[in-house]
Amino acid sequence: MFLHIGSDFVIPLKSVIAILDLEKTTISKDTRDFLKTAEEEGFIESITEDIPKSFIVTETDKKSKIYCNVIEEI
């Protein structure tokens, strides 16, 4: 199965580790540090030009990738 995460992006559902709300999780300094490090190391890919509302942490073949997107909780 695949998960459509916006635009023309689909990712294998089995690679998804977490889908996290950006506003709620970045209250924590640990999360902010994690995202800063991930960005510095090139693990983050923004799939929208809009302000991201969430991020998806994935792993495929022992390689991590974080996708920033506009998926939001209801």
What is the signed CA dihedral for 30, 36, 37, 42, rounded to 10 degrees? 150
Q: Is 46 among the domain residues?
A: yes
Q: Pairing mode, if any, of strands 44-46 and 63-69?
A: parallel
pLDDT higher than threshold 80 for residue 4: yes
Please state the domain count of the chain. 1
Tell whether the model's pLDDT for residue 10 goes beyond 70.
Answer: yes
In a domain, 9, yes or no: yes
Return the pLDDT at 73.
66
**The domain containing residue 38 runs over which residues?**
2-69
Mean pLDDT of 36-65: 94
39 within domain boundaries: yes
Residue 74 inside a domain? The answer is: no
Q: Which residues contact 37 (CB under 8 A, 6 or more apart)?
A: none
